[in-house]
Amino acid sequence: MTAEELISHVGSLREAADLVESIDDPELQRRRGWDLSGWCYELVPWGVRFVRREPRDRDETVTSVLAVLSQLGPMVSSEPAQAQGMWVVLSCG
């Protein structure tokens, strides 16, 4: 799965958790029709970072997709959880 495809599957923390479960369980990956080979994950506060390292000649290319819960608007709000969203960031290098 490319980074762009992975991003399309991360619209919520629940969806990010589905990806984490699938990375840990190749049979679940197969049932969902995903190929997450080469991807690993790191749990971070309020989210998850998906990482893929690929050797390129003498260097290594690292692709990261960071998916974190974000509070939209003021940090203190009387609004319910509807004020929360996801931030998804792609980093290649």
CB 41 within 8 A of CB 19: yes
Which strand (E) or helix (H) includes residue 71? strand 59-71
Percentage helix, strand, coil, to 5, in the chain?
A: 30, 40, 30
> CB under 8 Å, gap of 24 or more: what pairs does 55-59 form?
none
36-90 tens-digit pLDDT: 999 999 998 888 999 998 777 777 778 888 887 776 544 443 443 333 465 666 6
> Cβ contacts of residue 58 below 8 Å, gap of 6+?
none
The pTM (predicted TM-score) of the whole model is: 0.75
